[in-house]
Copies of this chain bind each other. A is one copy, B any other.
Amino acid sequence: MKPLGKRIWAIPDGYIPSKSNGPAPQMTSHESACILNVGDQPANVEITIYFSDKAPVGPYKITVPAERTRHIRFNDLKDPQPIPFDTEYASLLVSDIPVIVQHTRLDSRQAENALLSTIAYPASE
């Protein structure tokens, strides 16, 4: 199947709460970029993290195999450096082939978890 989606995606509202309630890892506060690659070639994705008060950091490199999805937790990105908790950031994802990206946050700072989600913004034509 031909790849579907766009090559560039943006998620302006990044924020990983440092506190959590409930069993790890499912209920740990986290933020995900869920990437779907329906094409028959792997997608090589580079993520850049933007901050409010310092230069961008990246790229973080991810591969999504052909006909697979990967739900990347921003909490798990370590190279070139971990993303700080309780800090406002944003992310830009650039893939070498079209993919589709959805942004989701689970916030369990309080006893009961809250969720948000949106399809990310497709920033390329």
Contact = CB atoms under 8 A, between A and B. Distances in A.
How many identical subunits does the complex contain?
4
Given A71-B52, A119-B118, A111 B112 contact: yes
B13 A8 contact: no
B26 A51 contact: no
A34 B50 contact: no
Given A13-B32, A55-B67, A112-B111, A26 B86 contact: yes
Contacts of A5: 10, 121, 123
A69 interface: yes
B100 A88 contact: no
Contacts of A70: 52, 88
A110 B71 CA distance: 22
Interface residues of A, number: 59
Given A38-B50, A51-B68, A68-B53, A115 B118 contact: no
Given A115-B105, A118-B118, A90 B34 contact: yes
Interface of A: 4-5, 8, 10-15, 17, 22, 26-27, 32, 34-36, 38, 50-53, 55-56, 67-71, 86, 88-90, 92, 100-124
